[in-house]
Structure formats: C-alpha cells, structure tokens
Amino acid sequence: MRSLNTPAIVAAGALTLALTGCGAGSALVGVDDAPSQVTTTAPVDAGSAQKIAERVIAQADEAAAAPAAEGQALRERALTGSALAVAIAASKLEVDPAATTTPAPLKRTEAPKVLAVSRGTTFPRLILAQTTTATGAARINLLTSPDAKTPFRLSMSVTMAPGTQVAALDSLDSGSPMVTKDTRLAVAPDALVKQYAASLAYPSPAKAEAVGTDDPFAASVRANAAAQAKAFGKLATLKQVHEAQPEQTVSIALRGGGALVFSLLERTDTITLKAGGKSLTPSAEFQRLVKKKTLTTSAELKSYETVVFTVPADGTAGVVGADEVLFSAKGS
C-alpha cells in the first residue's frame, strides 16, 4: 500500500500538521416465449474478457496521463463510479493521480490478469482484473457495464496491501455470482462497511465486531489523526468522521463461500480553532480548492476512501487494500 498523501495545515503557534428485468406465449402464431436468461455461465469467454480488460485499463492509463485540464473527456470514456469521482478529485488538485494514494498506474510491466467475470447474461456485468505497476505494486480493478448499450469502464481500482491476496473465485467459464441475500456470509456487506467506517472515527471510534481493523490503512488513519490532534494541542480541535456510501458497494461471491466486497467511504476532517488559536495556514492542496491562504475560524476537508474487503462464510472479514484522495475543502 502506498503511503498516505493527506493534506497538511499549520496553525498559528508554529504547529506543523499532517492530516492527513415475459414472453407473450405460444398462443400467438409465430410468437414464442422469450428465451430465459442464462444464469450458469459467464456472459463473455475468457479471451473476450482479457481483451476488454486490456482496453479499459489502457484507456484508464491514458486518462491518468493526460493533463488535468484536458483529461475530462478521457476520464468519462474510461471511468465510472468511484474511479471517476477519484480521478476528478485528483484533477481538481492539479496533481498527477499517480502521486496520490488512488493512482491508475501510468506504466505497467505486464498485461492485466483477469480474475473473474460475473455469472449470467443479465446486467450489470463485471470483470475483475489485477494489474501490476512498474514499481511492483499490485492493484485490483473492477470493470463494470450497466447495460447492453454501455461498454465496460473502470469502476474501482485499489492498491493491495503488501502480503494480501484474493481468495479463489469461480472459473472464467462458469463466472462468479454476485452476492445476494441468500449468500452465506459472516457479515452482510453493508453492515461490514458501516462497522469499518465507524471504527476509524476520531476521537471516538466504535468497536468493529465483524471486521479486523489492524490493516495498514486503518492503522495509518488512526495514527495520523492522533498526531494531528496532538500537534494542535490547545489551539484547535480535530473531528474525523468516515461514512459508508452504500450505493457504491459491489460484492462478488468467492468460490466455496465468502465474498470480495468493494466499497467507498467519505471522510470528513473538521478542524475548529479554539480561543488560543489565531489562524490556520492551509496546505498547497487545500489552497487550490478554497482559494484562500489563511483561515481564522475552521476548516473542513473531505476525502474519498476506496476499500476492498474479503468476507468469509464464517469468521472475521479483512481488508485487502485501500486508497484515499482529497476531493473537497472549505474554510473561513
């Protein structure tokens, strides 16, 4: 996992802060029942899935390499969902997405490896692919197509934490089913994401019963928040809230039980000056968004956090990887 690249703010008093869808029937002549949906095989074969993955990843790389002011059309063609939101956020900061913790790798040492294709001929359809950057970092990429008219685009892309791996999925020929209410899981995906989000809050985190919170991302978030608050001392307060975005959650069943869950969190850092604090000097990233060099009352920063979990049929869920990027800032 890449190191966190969160904004910094300096408070008066020499504080250096690191925030971090019926057939008509055969009664009508020449009209037959509509063919039933195929639910036991993948909608595309392995070769087609590989070509799709290579195209989509190449388009995402092209969009990431384009200058921020010129890349919007490329981003909208290649990306969707949280991947698009993250790329737009990076472009607002006028930084190379590869320099944030949510990069689409600009150079690759090998072709994408297709790990899974969704099962059945209904929509939406999914392809899961793993890529490796030139620096050796592994990324897991979710490609989606919502309907027959829309080509696959990159929906989520997350850097895998060192030492983590994705458990076996069903074969590319049979396809991997999406998680439903009947899928046996230790914890439902929405509940899982909410628990994890609440466990990252500062200064009052909630205990997560169904998911481990000792992963590198969670550890970094907690450590950075604590260091930030300590640096503020008596001059300012810090409150950090992480909120699950359930409409962005995508869950794919693993072979033999369990699931791979893609999720998006939205983090809000609120900094409020106390009576002893005179001003806040925003970081360069903050200033690009708020167009101010000094704040005298408060500051609010919002970041996207993309997190991928593995959920067993029984036991404790864990984090495969996570990334974050600042997308909004305001202050007075």
| Domain presence at residue 24 | no
**Would you mind telling me the total number of residues written for the chain in this entry?**
332
Angle in degrees, CA 286, 11, 97, rounded to 5: 25
- pLDDT higher than 90, residue 48: yes
| Domain presence at residue 30 | no
Which structural domain, as residue segments, surrounds residue 159? Answer: 9-19+40-331
**Spatial distance between the Cα atoms of 70 and 62, rounded to a whole number of angstroms:** 11
Confidence of residue 72 (pLDDT cuts 50, 70, 90): confident
pLDDT tens sequence across 140-196:
999 999 999 999 999 999 999 999 988 899 999 999 999 988 889 999 999 999 999
| Domain presence at residue 197 | yes
The count of domains in the chain is: 1
**Spatial distance between the Cα atoms of 297 and 279, rounded to a whole number of angstroms:** 7
Query: Cβ(215)–Cβ(319) under 8 Å?
Result: yes
| Domain presence at residue 146 | yes
Q: In this predicted structure, what is the pLDDT of residue 234?
A: 84
Q: In this predicted structure, what is the pLDDT of residue 24?
A: 35
Confidence of residue 109 (pLDDT cuts 50, 70, 90): low
**Spatial distance between the Cα atoms of 110 and 220, rounded to a whole number of angstroms:** 30
- pLDDT higher than 50, residue 45: yes
The pTM assigned to this predicted structure is 0.82
Tokens found for residue 81: 């969902």
Angle in degrees, CA 267, 18, 133, rounded to 5: 75
pLDDT tens sequence across 304-326:
999 999 999 999 999 999 999 88
| Domain presence at residue 84 | yes
Show Cβ contacts of residue 276 under 8 Å, excluding neighbours closer than 6 positions: 13, 234, 235
Residue 27 is classified by DSSP as: T
| Domain presence at residue 34 | no
Question: What average pLDDT does this structure show over 288-301?
Answer: 77
Q: Left if phi > 0, otherwise alpha if psi is -120 to 50, otherwise beta: which for 58? A: alpha
Beta partners for residue 114, in sequence order: 129
Question: What average pLDDT does this structure show over 276-282?
Answer: 71
| Domain presence at residue 3 | no
Query: Cβ(167)–Cβ(311) under 8 Å?
Result: no
Angle in degrees, CA 330, 331, 332, rounded to 5: 145
Phi and psi, residue 322, nearest 5°: -160, 150
Asked whether the CA dihedral 64, 70, 72, 74 is positive or negative, the reply is negative
| Domain presence at residue 4 | no
